Structure 1
Amino acid sequence: MTRKKLKEAVKQKLESPAWHKILRISNQQLAITLGAALNAFAFVLFQMPYNLAAGGVSGLGIIVNHLTGFSPGLFYFTANIPLFILGFFTLGRWRFVFNSALAVVVFSGATEYLIVHMPTVFSQFPITENKLLATIYCGLLVGIGTGIIYRFGGTIGGTSIIARIIYNKTGFPMSQSGLYVDVIIIAVAGFVFSWETSLLAFLALLIAGMSADFAMEGASQMRTLLIITKNPEPLRYAIINEVKRSVTMWQVKGGYSGEERTLLYLTVLRSRVYDVKFIINRIDPDAFMVVGVSQQAWGGYTMKKKQAKPIASDHNADQ
């Protein structure tokens, strides 16, 4: 197939009706709006009252607000303008810039609105006056909101844009560069407020990171199994018919022994790992198995009602 025909074939496969594109983009923008609003809620309710400057431009806004009285929502919006200009010319992605700009506008606007109206509500119905609980709630809500935004193709702006630019220019991991910038801001907050507050802000940052991962990917239920064995046929037959999962098999060679082996590869639910271990212990106790975490798995093999072909002979099962 020529390059032109390949391009046309792929384009035809990816084409979708106009209404489908509009619906997908609308859902994306709605999710980003929800995530940004959730961030603003956590920011006004938990971060600002306790000066939890947990990194990012929002954390810097808390410091600036404390020192000058400048509105944190307006500061967040203003500080992101040059970052977006830099990101647009450096990254050159309209969709990325638009989605991130939407998140920034919603966060800034919601923050300004909630600063005015939320104190009145929560003065009558306070959620917590415990600083540690506020830190935990802050991390959870910020992480979930940020994870939703990332999941639908946006960012919350600020240091994430800087981290992405550094990654594109140098290949330095985004998670590390973003963390370094956040730690610097948290350290500055330690001098401005107190080191106890700074430590709580760092705790909120860690919780937010874990919550964001959960919101983006969900809880990992799948496990990847690699089994190296000299007796593959009985294992293959037992796994397919007892665990109801298929396997992929490769011929491999031991690096030290030089002996031929068979590698069985499969994915199972976390709850079925024990069943596979039981099968291996009964059929081939000398087999070597590695269990890895798979975040997502879809497509591929679907179990049919018919059973797998039996092993070639009883001789293999007795080995």
Structure 2
Amino acid sequence: MKKLYPTLRDFSLITLGAFIQAVGLRLFLIPANLASGGVSGISQLINHGTGWPIGVMVLVGNIPLFALGWRFLGGRKFIIRTAFAVATFSFLVDALTLILPPEGITDDILLNSLYGALVSGIGYGIVYRGQGTSGGSDILARILNRWRGIPISQSYLMVDSAVILTAGFVFGWKEALYALITLYVSGIVTETASQGLSVVRTAMIITSEPELVSEQIFQTLDRGVTLLPGKGAYTGVERTILYCVVTRPETMRLKRIVNEADPDAFMVIGQAHEALGEGFAPLNEV
């Protein structure tokens, strides 16, 4: 049962995410002629000229991209989840025409752009949490993210620019400009939905009083500290570097601790998306 649960969880997340994506596409993007990028966007363009079902074209258009996903994103495990996500999304995109109004719920292109990005981005992020993708540009974006470390939001902009440009000729340049807004906001929402809202602070502290600073952090914040040896390149003086991770509200208290223990300390505070392990969220296998 322990081995079966992660698989059931993943496919449940993929199903939920595909449904949310389909709702965003049908309720906001298609009525406003906002090409959503990737295979979905190309399918919208073809549908505009031929009337062919968007869902069917999404499914057919993703077939050649499965080979790339197999090669770069995890082989059999990837292809099964992605094929399931694409098939579910394709079916729902066409099936939702039976229950959702074809004209959407608003004729305001800005509202359609922003809400389409929000809803679709949440759907994308949930699919990612299920260890799958929605095919199309998602495959190319994740390859760029894993191969070159390019953030997913930037990857979307890179791989979908050609679709948006083509949409300008088909739907009009006003719609294409709003589609760019949709694409950008959707990428940010996708990252947030897939990685979570847990933003933490990392601190590097160079001090001549490492024991005192560490003890105060232990007692006041109840946070762990890692001691790293360091040496100034210019002065040649050896100093101990403290590394610790705190929550955002604890940042000011950490500054006060360091200032009171060693006013001459040098401190750098950075930002991390997530902290897993003792004192933070549990490091569960995904």
| TM-score, scaled relative to structure 1 | 0.81
User: 1:51 matched to which residue of 2?
Assistant: 33
User: 2:212 matched to which residue of 1?
Assistant: 234
Q: How many residues align?
A: 279
Q: Pairwise CA RMSD of aligned residues?
A: 2.3
Query: Relative to structure 1, is the Cα distance of residues 31 and 91 closer, same or farther in structure 2, using a 3 angstrom cutoff?
Result: closer
Matches within 5 A, 1:57-72: 57-72=39-54
The answer as to 2:227 corresponding to 1:249 is yes
Distance 2:144 2:230 in 1: 40
**Comparing 78-87 and 147-156, the one that deviates more:** 78-87
Matches within 5 A, 1:1-319: 19-88=1-70, 93-119=75-101, 127-163=105-141, 173=150, 175=152, 178-300=156-278
Query: Could you give the per-residue CA deviations for residues 264-309 of structure 1, whole angstroms, max 9, x where no partner exists?
Result: 111111100000111122221211111111222232469xxxxxxx
CA positional deviation for 1:164: 5.1
Distance 2:225 2:74 in 1: 43
- Structure 2 letter corresponding to 1:151: R
Query: Could you give the per-residue CA deviations for residues 207-259 of structure 1, whole angstroms, max 9, x where no partner exists?
Result: 11111111111113321111011121221121111122121112210122211
Query: Could you give the per-residue CA deviations for residues 174-197 of structure 1, whole angstroms, max 9, x where no partner exists?
Result: 845543220110011111111111
- Structure 2 letter corresponding to 1:244: D
- Structure 1 letter corresponding to 2:33: N
Residues 46 and 135, structure 1, Cα contact 8 Å, conserved in 2: yes
CA positional deviation for 1:127: 3.6
- Structure 1 letter corresponding to 2:88: V
Query: Relative to structure 1, is the Cα distance of residues 97 and 42 closer, same or farther in structure 2, using a 3 angstrom cutoff?
Result: same
- Structure 2 letter corresponding to 1:219: L
- Structure 1 ranges of 4+ moved more than 6 A: none
- Structure 2 letter corresponding to 1:21: K
Unaligned runs of 5+ in 1: 1-18, 303-319
User: 2:284 matched to which residue of 1?
Assistant: none
Query: Relative to structure 1, is the Cα distance of residues 166 and 23 closer, same or farther in structure 2, using a 3 angstrom cutoff?
Result: closer
- Structure 1 letter corresponding to 2:264: D
CA positional deviation for 1:20: 1.4
Distance 2:99 2:34 in 1: 20
Query: Relative to structure 1, is the Cα distance of residues 256 and 139 closer, same or farther in structure 2, using a 3 angstrom cutoff?
Result: same
Residues 47 and 54, structure 2, Cα contact 8 Å, conserved in 1: yes
- SS of 1:211's partner is helix
Unaligned runs of 5+ in 2: 281-286
Query: Relative to structure 1, is the Cα distance of residues 90 and 263 closer, same or farther in structure 2, using a 3 angstrom cutoff?
Result: closer
**Comparing 86-95 and 243-252, the one that deviates more:** 86-95
Query: Relative to structure 1, is the Cα distance of residues 172 and 30 closer, same or farther in structure 2, using a 3 angstrom cutoff?
Result: closer
Residues 186 and 198, structure 1, Cα contact 8 Å, conserved in 2: yes
Query: Relative to structure 1, is the Cα distance of residues 249 and 174 closer, same or farther in structure 2, using a 3 angstrom cutoff?
Result: closer
Residues 103 and 154, structure 1, Cα contact 8 Å, conserved in 2: yes
Query: Relative to structure 1, is the Cα distance of residues 228 and 23 closer, same or farther in structure 2, using a 3 angstrom cutoff?
Result: same
Distance 1:29 1:147 in 2: 14
Which has more radius of gyration?
1
Query: Relative to structure 1, is the Cα distance of residues 218 and 165 closer, same or farther in structure 2, using a 3 angstrom cutoff?
Result: closer
Residues 220 and 293, structure 1, Cα contact 8 Å, conserved in 2: no
Distance 1:228 1:250 in 2: 10
